[in-house]
Amino acid sequence: MTVLGYLKKKQDTFKQYPTNIVDALAVSWMAYFDFSIVKDRLPLKVEDFKYIHEYQTLEPYYTAFLPRFSRRYMRALYESYRFKEAVLLEYEYVLDKAKGVQFAVIALKCEEDIIIAIRGTDPEYAGWQEDFTMSYKDTISSYVLAEAFVKRVMKKYKGNIILCGHSKGGNICTYLLSVLTNYNRIKHVYSFDGPGFRNTSLFKDKEERLEKYTKIVPKSSVVGVLFSNATDIKIVKSRSFFLLQHNPFQWVIEGDDFVYLNKRSLSSRYLERSLNAWIESLNEEERQRFTQIIFGELNKFETEDITVFFKKLFFQVKPVYKAYRKLNKEDKELVNRVIKKLIKNLIKADKPKQIAA
């Protein structure tokens, strides 16, 4: 079964059976939803959302990449015997398009545990810009915002803290485990296909903290193996293929845990080598300037976000080419150089004979 099946079948309350890794994934996807409509009404039980009209429409779910599926997922949550009594305590959302900052987080009380779930990259360009920023900065704005939120929740509420997040959200949670001074209150940290860090010494002299850390990636992971420096990665079976395995709704669950595999696919291992080698082939100045060029131009387009951009990809070819032609000579040379290095690393990175999904 998948997480939707788990929500329908799991009949234990959190009082009867404590939080587990599948619960953490379920709450991680909640972080993609827009709770600004009810922020002033918090705290709210999860089952209360079935009485709020907006959450029966698609509107609050456009901040996720799968709005229709996310609406079904919310319905499964508030109808779930396990989750209906859980309480949404806090919600925070920050979007700064000018500075390239996109951050969202929720705190959900599940009996004795408080699950803090941090949103991954949503469709806004700002979130993608922040992802690129990770390639040349050790600290991004979302790290600072997340640390402040967690400290505030720790001060305001009692209970164990579970940190979790999908994609960039998992990366942020991992960072928090490395920097929080009061980490003894952290029960566990889960990163669901979250990328690693350019800073390879993140847990230097703090290795004992990794005992509270679990990183899950699908068989054909691409995002989760960028800057991969985790000491122990669990590989989950997915019903989907290749890049679509980043979608956690397709991960296979048995009982209260995932179905695990022994190794990643050839394609995942190949892309890990080639993409990481490509990033390393660029100096920090090149990474930063390339990011500024790409998102400086994207923000001039009429498209609202990355999903709209790709839905209308055919119509973007001409504007993209025009934007490229208008770049000054130096920026154009940089873009050409970066793309050539990407192609070079994709070709030479010990390419396997067969790419398996």
* Predicted pLDDT at 355: 38
* Predicted pLDDT at 129: 84
Query: Over the chain, what HEC string results?
Result: CCHHHHHHHCCCCCCCCCCCHHHHHHHHHHCCCCCHHHHHHCCEEHHHHHHCHHHHCCHHHCCCCCHHHHHHHHHHHHHCCCCCCCEEEEEEEEEECCCCEEEEEEEEEECCEEEEEECCCCCCHHHHHHHHHCCCCCCCHHHHHHHHHHHHHHHHCCCEEEEEEECHHHHHHHHHHHHCCCHHHEEEEEEECCCCCCCCCCCCCCHHHHHHEEEEEECCCCHHHCCCCCCCEEEECECCCHHHHHCHHHECEECCEECEECCCCHHHHHHHHHHHHHHHCCCHHHHHHHHHHHHHHHCCCCCCCHHHHHHCHHHHHHHHHHHHHHCCHHHHHHHHHHHHHHHHHHHHCCCCCCCCC
* Predicted pLDDT at 299: 72
* Predicted pLDDT at 39: 93
* Predicted pLDDT at 352: 46
Per-block average pLDDT, block size 10, for the chain (357 residues)?
88 87 94 94 95 94 90 93 94 89 95 94 83 83 94 93 94 92 90 85 81 90 75 84 85 92 85 84 86 79 69 68 80 85 77 42
Q: Mind listing the domains of the chain with CATH numbers?
A: 3-263 (3.40.50), 271-348 (no CATH)
